[in-house]
Amino acid sequence: MPQFSPAAYLPLMTKRETIIIDCDPGIDDAVALLLAFASPEELDIKAVTTVAGNVPLHRTEANARRIRDLAGRGEVPVHAGCPRPLIRALKTADEIHGKTGLDGSDLPDALSALAPGHGADVLRREISAAPGGITLLPVGPLTNVAHALAARPEFAQEVSNIVVMGGSTGPGNVTPHAEFNFHVDPHAAHIVFESGAPIVMHGLNVTHQVRAKPDWIQALRALETTVGHTTAGMLTFYDSDNDPALHDVLTVGYLLWPELFSGEARRVDIVTEGDEAGRSIVRDAGDGVPNATVMLDVDADAFLARLLDRLARYS
Ligand code: RIB
Ligand code: CA
């Protein structure tokens, strides 16, 4: 099954960034993991932690292990985290990602085991043990991250950066006001954005700029690899509306190719109650004290070309 040998790329290593990906696979989470697993010369993946979101936790953690098996990166530990939001009841997105969370793929069940340790504890323990040394990529509801911050407020100063997929400068996707990750756990999003931690926010306004169009999906199939066919199958299923947006993948791409992105320091407030729960109010530049760098634009064509090139590394 191993589809990838990091050793082939080790000589290219320049300054590697140590990261932890906190995710709810989920089809776009899966593509984000595949991109990260295919980039060992830039990214040292300390751990993958999982959270309930797109589908319940027992599926998100198993899906993370299935993708890890596909990528042949069994040395990266996968941990299960919070099975539900801090206060609200869990709301999933089966209609988008399918009941399994990775519909459109015919991946076998996970062969590799789940690592011991609750995902939120792993975030807190690993990041406090390496102050300034680990970048966190949360691409699901922020429940695990908020849990770690509640247990150890110093986490906000110890984490090197939090590169999050969530929110929007404009309308939502699960309600007119709120994006899915922030809507599922708005209290967690509020805790993270009020924590003082360094945050780079990839909201719908920028992730909707990168869409897997039919010709790009066809180029995946043309790779004639298990990863190419699996990714094409998932994205074809995921195409609930006009060409699926590669939301979570942008956070990994931002670490690999920051020159493709532009954003501004802004004040972001999270609505936690009522009809607009989960809404991210992104204030204009200069309005309030910034608590995040909000991504505004990306070179989508260059991003997709480089993503395809990285996915082509899998044999
Ligand atoms: O709104 C998009 C986000 O919600 C992505 O992270 C997707 O995986 C879902 O979790
Ligand atoms: Ca996700």
Tens digits of residue pLDDT in 285-300: 999 999 999 999 999 9
The rounded distance, in Å, linking the Cα atoms of 142 and 10 is 32
Mean pLDDT computed over every residue of the chain? 95
Establish whether residue 26 lines the binding site of ligand 1, counting it when its CB lies within 6 angstroms of any ligand atom: yes
Over residues 112-135, mean pLDDT: 98
Which pLDDT value is given to residue 239?
Answer: 73
Please say if the pLDDT value at position 260 is more than 60: yes
Which pLDDT value is given to residue 242?
Answer: 74
- CATH H superfamily, domain 6-311: Ribonucleoside hydrolase-like (3.90.245.10)
What's the Cα-to-Cα distance from 113 to each of 65, 68, 75, 120, 282, rounded to whole Å?
7, 11, 11, 18, 41
Q: Identify the residue whose C-alpha is closest to ligand 1 atom 10.
A: 140
CB 280 within 8 A of CB 182: yes
Please say if the pLDDT value at position 49 is more than 60: yes
Which pLDDT value is given to residue 14?
Answer: 57
Residue 105 pLDDT class (50, 70, 90 cuts): very high
Q: What share of residues in the chain are helix, strand, coil (percent, to 5)? A: 40, 15, 45
Over residues 127-154, mean pLDDT: 98
Please say if the pLDDT value at position 83 is more than 60: yes
Residue 9 pLDDT class (50, 70, 90 cuts): low
Domain spans, the chain: 6-311
Please say if the pLDDT value at position 171 is more than 80: yes
Over residues 201-214, mean pLDDT: 97
Give the atom of ligand 1 at the shortest distance from the alpha carbon of 141.
Answer: 10
Ligand whose nearest atom lies closest to the CA of 22:
2
Q: 18: which strand partners? A: 44
Which pLDDT value is given to residue 5?
Answer: 65
Query: Which residues participate in catalysis according to the annotation?
Result: 247
CA of 256 to the centre of ligand 1 (A): 20
Over residues 83-105, mean pLDDT: 95
The rounded distance, in Å, linking the Cα atoms of 56 and 95 is 13
The rounded distance, in Å, linking the Cα atoms of 201 and 243 is 22
Which pLDDT value is given to residue 200?
Answer: 98
CB 247 within 8 A of CB 207: yes
Which pLDDT value is given to residue 1?
Answer: 55
Residue 63 pLDDT class (50, 70, 90 cuts): very high
CB 86 within 8 A of CB 146: yes
Please say if the pLDDT value at position 13 is more than 90: no
CA of 10 to the centre of ligand 1 (A): 31
The rounded distance, in Å, linking the Cα atoms of 253 and 39 is 10
AA letter at 49: T
Q: What is the largest CA-CA distance in the chain?
A: 53
Which pLDDT value is given to residue 3?
Answer: 60
Q: To test the ligand 1 pocket, which listed residue (23, 27, 29, 249) has its Cβ within 8 A of the most ligand atoms?
A: 29
Helix axes 300-311, 226-238, angle to 10 degrees: 140
Establish whether residue 139 lines the binding site of ligand 1, counting it when its CB lies within 6 angstroms of any ligand atom: yes
Q: Which of these ranges, 107-111, 182-186, 208-212, has the smallest mean pLDDT?
A: 107-111
Ligand whose nearest atom lies closest to the CA of 206:
1
Establish whether residue 22 lines the binding site of ligand 1, counting it when its CB lies within 6 angstroms of any ligand atom: no
Residue 2 pLDDT class (50, 70, 90 cuts): low
CA of 122 to the centre of ligand 1 (A): 22
Residue 11 pLDDT class (50, 70, 90 cuts): low
Both tokens of residue 26? 């989920």
The rounded distance, in Å, linking the Cα atoms of 57 and 49 is 11
CA of 172 to the centre of ligand 2 (A): 15
